[in-house]
Amino acid sequence: MRRVRRPMSRESRRKDVGAGLVLGLVSVPDGLAGGLLAGLSPLAGLYAYLVGTVAGALTTSSVFMTVQATGAMAVLISDVPQVREGPQAPAALATLGVLTGLVMLAAGLLRLGSMLRFVPHAVLTGFINAVAINIVLGQLASFTGYDSPAGDRITRALDTVLHLRFLDLRTLAIGAATIGGILLLERTRLGPLGLFVAIVLTSGLAAALGWKSVATVNDIAEIPARLPAPVLPSLSLAVTLLVPALSLAFVGLIQGAAISQSVPNPNGKYPDVSGDFRGQGIANLASGLLRGMPVGGSMSGTALVRAAGARGRLANLVAGAVMAVVILLLGELAGYIAMPALAGLLMLVGFRTLKPAQVTMVWRTGRTQATVMGATFALTLLIPLQYAVLAGVAISVILYVARQSNRIKVSRWTFTEGQPFPREDPPPEQLEGGDVVVLNTYGSLFFASAPIFEAQLPVVTPESRGAVVVLRLRGKEELGSTFIQVVTRYAKSLHEVEGHLVLTGVGDRVMSQLSDTGALAYLGAENVLAATSTVGESLGAGLARARALRDLPTTE
């Protein structure tokens, strides 16, 4: 019987409208700041917030996820020159957004949500903390009024420290007052709206005092009182922007997955991660075509709308409507927002993004984890972020392979009469003549672990004549060609001293691999015993076979 969805109550609608109003008002300066952080027109950030919030509310599996431009994605975009410079910049931004959306959409359709578990916490910790520092350093020019001519963010920061006499004190005062105002007003009944009020008050103060040296949004771009018009992407830029798009998609999906796995829907169930991938992909397609920057699941936006009392998707839809009304009715006034006020907001966001507790935890976990975190942190600070992200992925893959290959363990099982369970010991260093040795394996048997597995096998010497090794493979679903070569090579060394290798617990897939590669014929089909539903049955048969082989006469 189909469950009839109960209509939303009046109280729930009221809560959603209130939460949407708060999120919509806060998102206006937040969106402008996002565009500024990305090195784009503030309008690109504002349009991304508007389109992403609405499209995400309609398409994600998560009821509460707010899809907006995130700080990490904005910093990454700032390292893509094609979207910031030249007459093709609008088309380049649209192309970047569409490519990012297509990658996210493909990840969702292929249900790759589970793949994110392979990204180590150490990589994410190093990346997020470096992004936080990049956010802070990237706003020094707008916050201080001194635009350093140096190259990257770190050298610009050092140059700013060396030229303190060139700082504009009025600009600095507005930025500091905004940070102080946000921290103060957030503690009042205004709550999250304190951010919006603080920026309005400090921008109004600069205008009232006639401080012409304090730059405003109007000095960078005009904020028209109209909604975005569509723009077409450029196919000629697709190849150039593919790597940044892949990096943006990866960062956005990681952040979105954190929301999917931590924020349950109203029914108490957690949303489908791959479904949220698809929703974020559609939101990026819409944002890119409507002059917005790439977007992703925003943890801060999601936390805000929930804290404001949201009960369903209506909250994010109302937030989008509020932003649209503000743009249409108050768009020209938004141009008078002071740039240091937005910079102060972003610097505060950067400081709050730092995770010192997580850094300490990873540092104490071990040398390998600390090294991975440090390498990711340094790369994120020193090279363009699109490459730093891919380097982080590469580090995570290498780390995973190294871990899995080092976790392979071979142990000896010894069965004693009258005892129901075998005794487990390290394997002998070398085989004794006429001995029957049962070996059990732990870990993943793939190409990288093959040398480590082979090194743990008992050495076959001329004194090992007539020895039989029983290798238990139960639970091993697949063997690579490298591992099959190791097994065949070990069997050959046993054959040379008239010994034998018996495989037990062999699954259907492994049996097929042994047959197709010729290893089954070399080992002898009678020496390769298939796994059964009864645990230990194949091993028992293998032991019987091994003892029979041991008792065969040997040539002295």
Query: What was the pLDDT predicted at 236?
Result: 93
Query: What was the pLDDT predicted at 556?
Result: 54
- Other residues' Cβ atoms within 10 Å of the Cβ of residue 299: 19
**Domains, the chain:** 10-359 (no CATH), 409-550 (3.30.750.24)
Nearest-angstrom CA–CA distance, 518 and 400: 31
Average pLDDT of the segment spanning 40-47: 92
Q: Where are the alpha helices (DSSP H) in 110-168?
A: 121-138, 140-144, 153-162
Average pLDDT of the segment spanning 334-355: 88
Query: What was the pLDDT predicted at 11?
Result: 81
Query: What was the pLDDT predicted at 182?
Result: 92
| Residue from 224, 235, 548, 254 nearest 396 by CA | 254
The pLDDT tens digits for 119-140 are 777 888 888 888 889 888 988 9
pTM: 0.72
The answer to whether the CB of 554 falls within 8 A of the CB of 498 is yes
**Confidence band of 8 (pLDDT split at 50, 70, 90):** low
The answer to whether the CB of 39 falls within 8 A of the CB of 286 is no
Query: What was the pLDDT predicted at 232?
Result: 93
Average pLDDT of the segment spanning 347-364: 88
Q: Which two tokens stand for residue 280?
A: 């974020």
Average pLDDT of the segment spanning 206-232: 89
Query: What was the pLDDT predicted at 406?
Result: 64
Cα distance from N-terminal residue to C-terminal residue, the chain: 78
pLDDT mean across residues, the chain: 88
Question: CB pairs under 8 A, 24+ apart, for 259-266?
Answer: 259/62, 259/64, 259/65, 259/297, 259/299, 259/302, 260/61, 260/62, 260/65, 260/113, 260/297, 263/62, 263/64, 263/65, 263/302, 263/306, 265/62, 265/63, 265/64, 266/63, 266/311, 266/312
Find which of 317-321, 371-375, 473-477 is predicted with most confidence, using mean pLDDT: 317-321
Average pLDDT of the segment spanning 12-24: 89
Of the chain, the percentage scoring pLDDT greater than 70 comes to 95
Q: Which two tokens stand for residue 149?
A: 């001519």
Q: Which two tokens stand for residue 334?
A: 């938004």
Nearest-angstrom CA–CA distance, 515 and 548: 24
Query: What was the pLDDT predicted at 123?
Result: 81
Buried b (16+ CB within 10 A) or exposed e, 137-169: bbbbbbbbbbebeeeebeebbebbeeeeeeebe
Specify the 3-state DSSP secondary structure of 502.
Answer: strand
Query: What was the pLDDT predicted at 458?
Result: 95
Average pLDDT of the segment spanning 63-87: 90
**Confidence band of 1 (pLDDT split at 50, 70, 90):** very low
Find which of 296-310, 383-397, 403-417, 460-474 is predicted with most confidence, using mean pLDDT: 460-474
Average pLDDT of the segment spanning 378-385: 84
Nearest-angstrom CA–CA distance, 427 and 432: 12
Nearest-angstrom CA–CA distance, 233 and 90: 8
The answer to whether the CB of 54 falls within 8 A of the CB of 320 is yes
**Confidence band of 514 (pLDDT split at 50, 70, 90):** very high
Nearest-angstrom CA–CA distance, 357 and 410: 38
Query: What was the pLDDT predicted at 436?
Result: 94
Query: What was the pLDDT predicted at 4?
Result: 42
Nearest-angstrom CA–CA distance, 446 and 483: 6
Check residues 87 and 49 and name the one with the higher pLDDT.
Answer: 49
| Residue from 462, 539, 549, 446 nearest 501 by CA | 549
The pLDDT tens digits for 167-202 are 999 999 999 999 999 999 989 988 888 888 999 999
The pLDDT tens digits for 395-431 are 777 776 766 666 788 999 998 887 888 999 999 999 9
Of the chain, the percentage scoring pLDDT greater than 90 comes to 54
Q: Find all residues with CB under 8 Å of 214, minimum gap 6, and list them.
A: 145, 168, 170, 171, 174, 206, 338, 339, 340
- Side chain identity, residue 528: V
Query: What was the pLDDT predicted at 554?
Result: 60
Nearest-angstrom CA–CA distance, 173 and 202: 9
| Stretch among 209-213, 228-232, 299-303, 406-410 having the lowest mean pLDDT | 406-410
Nearest-angstrom CA–CA distance, 379 and 126: 9
**Confidence band of 117 (pLDDT split at 50, 70, 90):** low
Q: Which residues pair with 437 in a beta bridge?
A: 469
pLDDT at position 375 over 90: no
Chain CA centroid to CA 102, Å = 17
Find which of 26-30, 94-98, 139-143 is predicted with most confidence, using mean pLDDT: 94-98
Average pLDDT of the segment spanning 46-70: 95
- SS3 string of 184-252? HHCCCCCCCHHHHHHHHHHHHHHHHCCCCCCCEHHHCCCCCCCCCCCCCCCHHHCCCCHHHHHHHHHHH
- Other residues' Cβ atoms within 10 Å of the Cβ of residue 352: 12
Backbone angles phi, psi at 424, to 5 degrees: -110, 130
Nearest-angstrom CA–CA distance, 328 and 24: 14
